[in-house]
Every structure is written in structure tokens, then in C-alpha cells.
């Protein structure tokens, strides 16, 4: 399971993200993505709300994060704000998508019922 609902610790430089695409397909962002084991590519937009962020709106573009989802694991995703420098203008290096926490979680995929 991949989750984006928990608010990460901003004091450690982590912020929330919103998922825009899953494996290149547009999605409506939701708190959890229950997925079968495998490799997935999430396109995410950062939700960094910091007075230290001085980049132009055009620099705030989505980025991709690839996750190898394993059985019975929950991956909490977010944006890591690189606070070591002041970023201005069109630099997109101020953040990267990350798995900021991973934990054991019993998951059970419920098969979707087809229409006969």
C-alpha cells in the first residue's frame, strides 16, 4: 500500500504531495493506493509551504517516484525540501519525491467483481 495521507515531519524537511498520475495514467489523488506487489511510478506535485521557498510558480513542476511495492508493507510518500541552499527563480532542485517512512502493514487486495 502506498499512502500520502499522513502529514510528515516538516521539521525534518518533509512535506505532503498530491499524486497526479500512476504509471502515466491520470488519477484523482486519494489517501491510499492498494496495489499488488510490483514496480509503480507515481507522478507527484509537492505541497511545500515554507517561507524559505522562493522559486517561481513555473519551477513547481511535478516529479516522478518509482516504488517497488512489496507484500504487507505501507510506504508513506512525500516531498523532501532541500533546505541546504536558497533556491530562487526556475530551479526545480529544491525538492525530490521520497518514501519518508515504510512500515509493516497487513494488506489484502479485494478483487474487483466483474459484470457477467
pLDDT in tens, 66-110: 999 999 999 999 999 988 876 677 878 899 999 999 998 775 555
pTM: 0.84
Taking only the tens place, the pLDDT of each residue in 41-66 is 999 999 998 888 878 888 889 999 99
Which residues 6+ apart lie within 8 Å of 102 measured at CB? 73, 74, 75, 76
**Number of domains observed in the structure of the chain:** 1
| 18 is a domain residue | yes
Residue 37 domain-assigned? yes
State which residues form the domain around 26. 2-104
Give the torsion sign (CA, 104, 29, 84, 51).
Answer: negative
**Could you tell me if residue 116 is inside a domain?**
no
Amino acid at each position: 500500500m502506498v499512502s500520502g495521507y499522513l502529514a510528515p515531519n516538516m521539521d525534518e524537511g518533509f512535506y505532503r504531495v498530491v499524486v497526479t498520475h500512476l504509471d502515466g495514467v491520470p488519477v484523482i489523488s486519494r489517501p491510499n493506493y492498494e496495489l499488488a506487489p510490483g514496480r509503480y511510478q507515481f507522478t507527484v506535485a509537492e505541497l511545500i509551504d515554507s517561507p524559505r521557498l522562493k522559486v517561481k510558480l513555473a519551477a513547481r513542476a511535478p516529479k516522478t517516484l518509482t516504488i517497488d511495492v512489496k507484500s504487507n508493507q505501507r510506504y508513506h510518500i512525500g516531498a523532501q525540501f532541500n533546505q541546504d541552499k536558497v533556491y530562487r527563480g526556475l530551479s526545480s532542485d529544491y525538492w525530490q519525491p521520497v518514501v519518508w517512512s515504510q512500515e509493516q502493514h497487513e494488506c489484502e487486495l479485494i478483487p474487483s467483481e466483474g459484470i457477467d
